[in-house]
Structure 1
Amino acid sequence: MIYTTHARRVLSDVEAVRAKLENEVGRTEWRLYWVTAVVLVRAVGHVLTKVDGAAAPVVREISNELHRRWKNANAGDSIFLDFIEQERNSILKEYEFGISEGPIPVLAKMQNSVTGEFFEQQALIGENIYRPMWSGAYEGEDGRTLLDEAISWWTTQLDCIDKESVLRLARIRQRGKKCD
């Protein structure tokens, strides 16, 4: 049974916005899609606790337990702490972006095939080919790849919450039958 329906709906919207980031080259549009995706990827957790958790208190209980683990840097959930949480906070609290917003300059060292002389040549990686994070734990990673990882991570978490909800509710029902 699925107890995380509303959180999954938000996650579905993240996936839709993520798809738009792949081909968008307009700077303003790209930035707005990025803001939308980052805010929504964090909203999954809020909707999970507030909406799905209100419908099924066991979901709130499990998600609160997991949230404490996600906030612990040593728990192996760095995508939550170092990307989902950090990028959302930077955008909402300072309107600062951890991702590049334009072409990326690249400096290549080359060698003249005739003279053997070394020289440097600068080029730009196109508008939407590579969008690296500028700093933090994921510095150099393409932000879209991080969104993909966040989507996958949330899917795993929601699946876990649904399974654990079924198990806990079955245990509660089992205890109730013993009392009859």
Structure 2
Amino acid sequence: MQAKKVLKDSWFAYEKLKASQTEEEFRINWVACLALLRAVGHVLAKVDSKHSSRTKNAIDAWWSQLNRRKVENSIFWEFIDEYRNNIVKEYNLGVHFVPTELYSLEGEEVVNVEHHLISFTDSSENCIELVADSLVWWGVQLSDIQREIGCINETT
């Protein structure tokens, strides 16, 4: 499945996001994560569904279920789809990056530890954790689809 390759790249972008040290790095990695997370679904629908009629039927059934069960799949509708659309159509990132300084004691020495608070503009939820949750969600969805079409061991 080509969508699995996109998901793998999404994991790579997530690691880069977690390691972001500047606002610019964070912003670019955030955009990459959301674009890739949404691209998993586009590739599933536009590329993987052409593999066979059985694959197309399984993917179409999955999309129908996704549309019928929006509450259960809110991570897709309220995060992946909505935030990606806001980025692509308005360049509204929906998050903010606030450099802060934390101090920790190591023995008797005070050590300055730089830390960054990254949260949604309208809540205090950690957006990096939601990216991780989205990656896991996509992994489960792709596995379910593969199981449905009988190719759980397919790696491409």
What TM-score, normalized to structure 2?
0.80
Match of 1:164 among 129, 148, 156: 148
Cα distance, 1:64 vs structure 2: 2.3
Correspondence for 1:154: 138
- What is the CA deviation profile of residues 74-112 of structure 1, one whole-angstrom value per residue up to 9, with x for unaligned ones? 4401100010001000000110011113337xxxxxxxx
Q: Aligned residue for 2:82?
A: 86
- Contact map agreement 1:7 1:52 (CA 8 A) in 2: yes
Equivalent residues in 2 for 1:60-75 (5 A)?
60-72=56-68, 74-75=70-71
**Aligned mate of 1:143, from 123, 127, 136:** 127
CA distance in 2, matches of 1:156, 1:132: 25
| Alignment counterpart, residue 12 of structure 1, candidates 8, 14, 21 | 8
The match for 1:133 is 120
Computing the radius of gyration from Cα coordinates, the structure with the larger value is 1
**Alpha-carbon offset, residue 151 of structure 1:** 0.5
CA gap 1:74/1:128 in 2 versus in 1, 3 angstroms: same
**Alignment deviations for residues 96-153 of structure 1 (CA, whole Å, 9 cap, x no partner):** 011113337xxxxxxxxxxxxxxxxxxxxx9753311123xxx322111111111000
Q: 1:43 to 1:127 in 2, by over 3 A?
A: farther
What fraction of aligned residue pairs are identical, expressed as a percent?
A: 31
Structure 1 residue 72: deviation in Å? Answer: 4.1
* More divergent stretch after superposition (74-83 vs 150-159): 74-83
Letter in 2 for 1:60: K
- On the 8 A contact 1:48/1:60 being kept in 2, the answer is no
Aligned 8 A contact 1:23 1:128 in 2:
no
Q: What is the alpha-carbon root mean square deviation over aligned residues?
A: 2.1
Q: Distance in 1 between matches of 2:132 and 2:38?
A: 13
Structure 1: gaps (5+ residues): 105-125, 168-180
Which has a greater percent of strand?
2
2:119 is aligned with what amino acid?
A: P
Structure 2 match to 1:96 = 92
SS in 2 for 1:103: strand
CA contact (8 A) 2:38 2:81 kept: yes
Contact 1:99 1:143 in 2 (8 A): yes
C-alpha distance in 2 between matches for 1:82 and 1:127: 31
State the alpha-carbon separation in 1 of the partners of residues 83 and 54 from structure 2. Answer: 29
TM-score, normalised by the number of residues in structure 1 = 0.70
